[in-house]
Amino acid sequence: MTPQCKPAGLKKTKLWEYGVRFAFGGLVTAGAGLVADGYGPELGGFMLAFPAILPASLTLIKQHDGRAKAVDDARGARLGSLALAIFGVTVGYSATSWPPVAALGLATLAWIVVAVALWAIAYGGGSAVAHRLNH
């Protein structure tokens, strides 16, 4: 199985649905700042992994494509969250010695590479791993 980019998929989503995601993402980001302000960066850091996109995505995918596709979306997010840990590790090691753009750029690249690699292992080749993850 190979991932396919279909820009037409953007048309399924209504403008107000993008608005909901914008508002929610903005609130979570502002909330993360408040938590870090009030309780320090240790607790504020946890907020950086708050599920900001997933709840709205699941709900919208269920409405547009059905429940089975929403299950698949949540399965993908499981792998994405593992890759997010690699993003954090990369920033943790590079933040004090690299320029901000380089540190965040490298971490984002690491997230993409790890997420895609995990997806390829889990779902790319109809492997035994994919069979286990799908049941």
Partner 1 sequence: MQRFDARIEPLQHGQRVLANDAAQSWHGSCYQPQGMLAELGFRFLLGGAIVSLFAAFAEMWDPKTFAGLFGAAPSVALATLALGFYQHGGSYVAIEARAMVMGSIALLAYSAACVAIAKTRRLPLAVGAAAAWTVWLVAALGLWRLGAMTGIL
Write down the least CB distance from residue 11 to partner 1, Å. 9
Selected binder of partner 1 within 14, 15, 16, 72 (CB under 8 A): 72
CA 13 – CA 64 distance, rounded (Å): 8
CA separation for the pair 57, 108 (Å, rounded): 21
Q: How many residues bind partner 1 (CB under 8 A)?
A: 90
CB of 128 to partner 1, least distance (A): 16
Element (H, E) at 34: helix 15-39
Paired tokens of 25: 């993402």
Asked if 106 is part of the footprint of partner 1 (rule: CB under 8 A), the reply reads: no
Please report whether residue 65 would count as binding partner 1 according to CB under 8 A.
yes
59 near partner 1, judged by CB under 8 A: yes
Q: Is residue 13 packed enough to be buried (19+ CB in 10 Å), middle (13-18) or exposed (0-12)?
A: middle
Q: Is 125 in the site for partner 1 (CB under 8 A)?
A: no
